[in-house]
Amino acid sequence: MNLKHLIAPYRPAIALTYGLTFFEKACLLAYPALTGLTVDGMMSHSYTGLILLIGTWLAHMLVAYFRQRYDTRTFTKIYAFVANKVVLTQKERGEELSEIAARVELAREIVDFFEHELPFVVHTMLSIIGALVMLYVYDVQAGLIATVVLAPLLIGNAIYARKSKRLNGGLNDQVEREVRTLQSGSPFAIDRHFRLLGRWKVALSDAENTAWVFTEFATLLAVLFILLNFLGAHSASAGTIFAILSYAYDYLDGLDGVPQLINQVVRLKDIQERLA
């Protein structure tokens, strides 16, 4: 069962919701620059920046309101469609009821991924790429410092991705045994199942937390070097300083979300393989 074929009837609807998400993120990326422009403008009695900032804010608010209402309706329909297909396909293959029930729940996780986690992926990637581009626009050296920090993070997160794959596989194996274990009625088996389930979740959480700490330490060093470089070599307007620091924090905040992003993508791939 191919996931691409499953969601094919809803591609236009999904494309619209992601397009709106992209617009929202573009507005968020514009805020530091527009705020900096507003600060500098108001110091010289110009309100052009303020008007642009308010206009962008209102546009963002209206689009976000529409997108959130549209998302709920769209992905509720998608889940009903996908769950039905999963049940019919698994029955045709002669799978046990316990495995069918578990895979319907996994199908829900796939739809949740498209509704919640994938927009987070888009948000994270746009934060990293967009903020990095804006750092180069404002200050090339700040952009270079931000780029250098990517090297150790790529290595660290590659190691984490392999570990996440193993742990997600173990967790999903345990989830698929749940209905069968509950049907057995054995207190020992039920207790053991939930203890193992808890261990897999704790192991996943610990691995993600370790990757996050590594990322946080690298980003702390990057912020320190950007601040020292900027304060020691520049005389800029208050608005420019605000914009550079805001984009630096946006960039590093995006990097903080990478471990969670990796875990969600790895989990989706494991679930998709089980439903194939």
- CA 229 centroid distance within chain: 31
Residue 52: its pLDDT value, please? Answer: 93
125-177 confidence digits (pLDDT tens): 888 899 899 889 888 888 888 888 888 888 888 899 999 989 988 888 888 77
What is the model's pLDDT at position 66?
92
Q: What is the pLDDT of residue 83?
A: 77
Q: How far apart are CA 276 and CA 127, in angstroms?
A: 33
| Structure-token pair, residue 272 | 């998709």
- pLDDT per residue, tens digit, the chain (276 aa), is 556 666 777 888 888 988 898 899 889 889 989 998 898 888 888 888 899 999 999 999 999 999 988 888 888 888 888 777 777 777 777 766 666 776 777 777 777 777 777 788 888 888 889 989 988 988 888 888 888 888 888 888 889 999 998 998 888 888 877 777 777 777 888 888 888 888 999 998 999 899 888 888 888 888 888 777 776 655 667 788 888 888 888 888 888 888 888 888 888 787 777 666
- With CA atoms as reference, report the closest residue to 33 among 251, 239, 249, 227: 239
Q: Give the C-alpha separation, 170 to 60, whole Å.
A: 41
- Residue 227 confidence (pLDDT): 77
Per-residue pLDDT, 56: 94
Q: What is the pLDDT of residue 185?
A: 75
Longest dimension (CA), the chain: 77
Of 239, 243, 210, 244, whose CA–CA distance to 227 is shortest? 244
Planar angle of CA 65, 68, 272, nearest 5 degrees = 160
CA dihedral 26, 3, 165, 207 (to 10 degrees): 40
In this predicted structure, what is the pLDDT of residue 234? Answer: 59
Residues whose CB falls within 8 Å of the CB of residue 257, separated by 6 or more in sequence, listed in order: 120, 123, 124, 127
- The answer for 236, left when phi > 0, alpha when psi is -120 to 50, beta otherwise, is beta
Identify residue 106 by its one-letter amino acid code: L
3-state secondary structure 214-251: HHHHHHHHHHHHHHHHHHHHCCCCHHHHHHHHHHHHHH
Say if CB 111 and CB 75 are below 8 A apart: yes
* DSSP state for residue 93 in the 8-state scheme: T
- pLDDT of 233: 59
Domains of the chain: 3-275 (1.20.1560.10)
- Quick one: tokens of 32? 């530091």
Q: Hey, what are 24's tokens?
A: 């929202």
Q: What is the pLDDT of residue 186?
A: 78
